[in-house]
Each structure stands twice: as C-alpha cells, then as structure tokens.
C-alpha cells in the first residue's frame, strides 16, 4: 500500500485576507507556524519514506517544521508551486473585479481563461498530474509527504480519485491541514482524511 500525505502549507497574511496567492512568496505568519507545529506533532510517529515540497517559502517552511522528527531530505520541486495568478497574484476577488472587471467576468465564466501574465488551468493541472504520474512510477508502497498549496492538493485529490478536472473545486482544503489518500496494489485510491 502507498499512502500520500498531502499537506497544505500554514497560513500567511495573504491567506488571511483571502487573496489569490500564487507565486508571490510570503513567509508563514504566527498562525501558520503554529499550524505547522500541530501537523508535525500529528505526523511525528508516522514513518515517512520521502518528503516533497513546493519551493515557495510558505510550503518549504511548513515542510521543514514537519520533517524535524524524521530528518529526511526535503526535495523541492517547481512542479508543486501554486498556480501562477499573474497580474492578479496577491489580490482578492473584490480587488480583481474592481481593477479588471471585463477580464474578471471572463475568468469567472470561462473554465480555462488565461490570466494575464499567469497560468491557465490546463497548464496548472498538467504539471500537477505529471508530478503524480512520476511519483507513482517511482513509489509502489510506503508513506510520502507532499507539502504544497490548496490548488495543488485539490487537483491531486481529483486526479487520484478518478474525478473530472473541474471536480477539484468540490474539495475545501484549509490552510495548515492534512489530506490522506491510500492506494492499494491495483492503484485504486481511497480518501482517508480531509482537513485533518
């Protein structure tokens, strides 16, 4: 059996204001640091075989704290970055609608609208799914920790569970939370934890 432990990084000030936080790179705030330590304590007695993380500070800092009892190499991968929100990065939906009303309307009504200077949904989904494919080729058993971002976790859950791409929005993934997916020997996936 292979268990994937998917962690969304701890809170940042941008998360607190409900901004679209993509490649902007803030540190964890004090709440986020506390969340990372809570996850560390929850996972301290669960052996890990590998740790992967986004290179963005909020994810990497979370991974460093969680990894302390395990002492494993932390592998940072560009593929695990959050979606690039381009000119809308670190803005709230209200900010976007005020400053870019026509583009915001297109984005809200067209599933694959390309954000100016950013990343469209297809490209974002593609890089997360390529990461998963490679991971599943390299690991058939054990427990893998992946520390990344809300969008990444949602895409992984939908992909692993055989859902449509747009179904990723059916998962609410809190900051500083754990999701777990178990894959049996036939690679059939079971969601065993969400927002733990």
Mind telling me the catalytic residues? Answer: 9, 82
49 burial type by CB count under 10 A (0-12 exposed, 13-18 middle, 19+ buried): middle
Q: What sections of the chain are H helices per DSSP?
A: 13-16, 30-43, 57-67, 93-99, 101-109, 121-138, 150-160
- Which are the contacts of 18, defined by CB distance < 8 A and separation ≥ 6? 92, 93
> What is the b/e burial string over 162-179, where b = at least 16 CB atoms within 10 angstroms of the residue's CB?
eeebeebeebebbbbbbb
- Secondary structure in 3-state letters for 54-69: CCCHHHHHHHHHHHCC
Coil, helix or strand at residue 147? strand
User: Parallel, antiparallel, or unpaired: how do β-strands 177-183 and 2-8 relate?
Assistant: antiparallel
């Amino acid at each position: 059996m292979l268990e994937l432990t998917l962690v969304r990084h701890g809170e940042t000030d941008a998360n607190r204001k409900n901004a679209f936080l993509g490649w902007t790179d803030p540190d964890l705030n004090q709440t986020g640091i506390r969340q990372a330590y809570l996850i560390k304590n929850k996972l301290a007695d669960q052996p890990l075989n590998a740790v992967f993380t986004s290179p963005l500070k909020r994810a990497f800092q979370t991974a460093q704290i969680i990894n302390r009892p395990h002492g494993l190499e932390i592998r940072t991968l560009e593929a695990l970055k959050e979606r690039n929100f381009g000119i809308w990065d670190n803005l709230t939906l209200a900010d976007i609608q005020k400053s870019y009303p026509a583009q915001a309307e297109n984005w809200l009504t067209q599933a694959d609208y390309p954000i100016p200077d950013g990343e469209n949904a297809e490209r974002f989904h593609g890089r997360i799914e390529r990461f998963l494919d490679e991971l599943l080729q390299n690991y058939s058993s054990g427990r893998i920790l992946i520390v990344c971002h809300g969008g990444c976790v949602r895409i992984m859950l939908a992909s692993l569970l055989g859902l449509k791409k747009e179904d990723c929005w059916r998962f609410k993934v809190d900051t500083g939370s754990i999701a777990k997916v178990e894959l049996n020997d036939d690679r059939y996936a079971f969601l065993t934890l969400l927002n733990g």
